């Protein structure tokens, strides 16, 4: 059964956020892999991540985090906590954040039943839909009212979308293709519109505080451009230095960087390699 594409809000988001749910991440039992991968997936589409929130398995904190996500109007991916064990709270918290009841989604139910039949067939066992454990598995298709499903190519257990907030499992093998599907199905028009570039240069022998007036002037003169400085005291190649640069829309970042570089040269500061990231 093909997934129904629920209409998204007409206003396209201007920022992308990420929510990572799970005590195992905050306790250090597992290392988060989602943020690096989401940055990679977005970058391949000319987009970038604006922020990330990490939250443990505490329903009140998850609800508050999701309430902010819904209110932001941003494109937000939430990874983890959508299973059906006692420590999975994300589905319930999404409903609480929106004040919506939880209901069994008919498409998600059909896919779960397909999965149960597949497993029974693979194991050479009869399919027993009324068995207690199979009935419990249907809870994974219980979403806040009005949700649209996100297909899961790994095992058919769907995620779900509510507006611009999209919920996927915590398992990378499932979550990452589901995130790609959301980006390419719902946000193709947004790709490349968030394009950005980062240009910087290595500066030797400067105090960061002495560069602040230049940084402030560049930001005042070039709307939408951010100026950054990354000092290092023990870099294996450049030693003590400051990476100074600008980031933003390519059309705006280019002139801003040229002005920054010219000022540094006027000050006769020793400069190292120039860097470009996009």
Fold (CATH) for 197-277: Alpha-Beta Plaits (3.30.70)
Three-class SS of the chain: CCCCCCCCCCCCCCCEEEEEECHHHHCCCCCCCHHHHHHHHHHCCCCCCCEEEEECCCHHHHHHHHHHHHHHCCEEEEECCCCCCCCCCHHHHHHHHHCCCEEECHHHHHHHHHHHHHHHHHHCCCCCCCCHHHHHHHHHHEEECCCEEECCCCCCCCEEEECCEEEECCCHHHHHHHHHHHHHHHCCCCCCCCCCEEEEEEECCCCHHHHHHHHHHHHHHCCCCEEEEEEEEEECCCEEEEEEEEEECHHHHHHHHHHHHHHHHHCCCCEEEEEEEC
Regarding beta strands 148-150 and 142-144, do their DSSP bridges make them parallel or antiparallel, or are they unpaired? Answer: unpaired
Taking the C-alpha atoms of residue 216 and residue 235, their distance in angstroms, rounded to an integer, is: 26
N- to C-terminal Cα separation, the chain: 39
Taking the C-alpha atoms of residue 187 and residue 218, their distance in angstroms, rounded to an integer, is: 32
The predicted structure's pLDDT at residue 3: 45
Pick the closest to residue 198 from 262, 264, 243 (CA basis): 243
The predicted structure's pLDDT at residue 35: 97
Pair 176, 159: CB distance under 8 Å = no
For residue 209, what are the contacts with CB-CB under 8 A and spacing of at least 6? none
- Domain assignments of the chain as residue spans, ordered by start: 16-186, 197-277
Can you read off the two tokens belonging to residue 216?
A: 């402030």
Can you read off the two tokens belonging to residue 192?
A: 């490349």
CATH of region 16-186, choose from 3.90.470.20, 3.40.980.10, 3.30.565.10, 3.40.50.1580 = 3.40.980.10
The one-digit pLDDT tens for each residue of the chain (278 residues) are: 444 445 567 788 989 999 999 999 999 999 999 999 999 999 888 888 999 999 999 999 999 999 999 999 999 999 999 998 999 999 999 999 999 999 999 999 999 999 999 999 999 998 888 888 889 999 999 999 999 999 999 999 999 999 999 999 999 999 999 999 999 999 988 887 666 788 999 999 888 988 999 999 999 999 889 999 999 988 888 888 999 999 988 888 999 999 999 999 999 999 999 998 87
Strand order in the sheet with 271-277: 226-235, 239-248, 197-203, 271-277
The predicted structure's pLDDT at residue 1: 42
**CA dist 41 to 13, 19, 93, 116, Å?**
17, 16, 27, 31
The predicted structure's pLDDT at residue 94: 97
User: Is the pTM above the cut of 0.85?
Assistant: no
């Amino acid at each position: 059964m093909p997934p129904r594409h629920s209409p998204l809000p007409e206003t396209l988001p201007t920022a992308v956020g990420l929510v990572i749910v799970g005590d195992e991440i905050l306790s250090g039992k597992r290392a988060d892999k989602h943020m690096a991968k989401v940055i990679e997936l977005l970058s391949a589409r000319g987009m970038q991540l604006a922020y990330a929130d990490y939250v443990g398995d505490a329903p009140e904190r998850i609800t508050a985090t999701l309430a902010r996500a819904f209110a932001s109007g941003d494109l937000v991916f939430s990874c983890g906590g959508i299973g059906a064990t006692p420590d999975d709270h994300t589905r319930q918290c999404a409903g609480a954040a929106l004040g919506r009841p939880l209901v069994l989604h008919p498409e998600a139910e059909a896919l779960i039943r397909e999965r149960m039949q597949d497993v029974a067939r693979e194991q050479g066992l009869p399919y027993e839909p009324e068995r207690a454990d199979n009935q419990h598995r249907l809870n994974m298709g219980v979403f806040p009212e009005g949700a649209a499903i996100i297909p899961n190519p790994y095992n058919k257990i769907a995620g779900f979308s509510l507006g611009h907030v999209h919920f996927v499992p915590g398992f990378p093998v499932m979550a990452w293709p589901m995130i790609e599907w959301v980006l390419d199905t719902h946000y193709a028009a947004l790709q490349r519109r968030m394009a950005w570039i980062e240009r910087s240069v290595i500066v030797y022998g400067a105090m960061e505080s002495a560069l602040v007036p230049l940084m402030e002037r560049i930001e005042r003169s070039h709307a939408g451009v951010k100026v950054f400085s990354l000092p290092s005291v023990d870099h294996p190649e450049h030693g003590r230095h400051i990476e100074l640069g600008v980031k933003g829309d390519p059309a705006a970042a280019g002139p801003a960087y040229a002005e920054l570089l010219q000022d540094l040269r006027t000050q006769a500061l020793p400069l190292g390699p120039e860097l470009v990231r996009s």
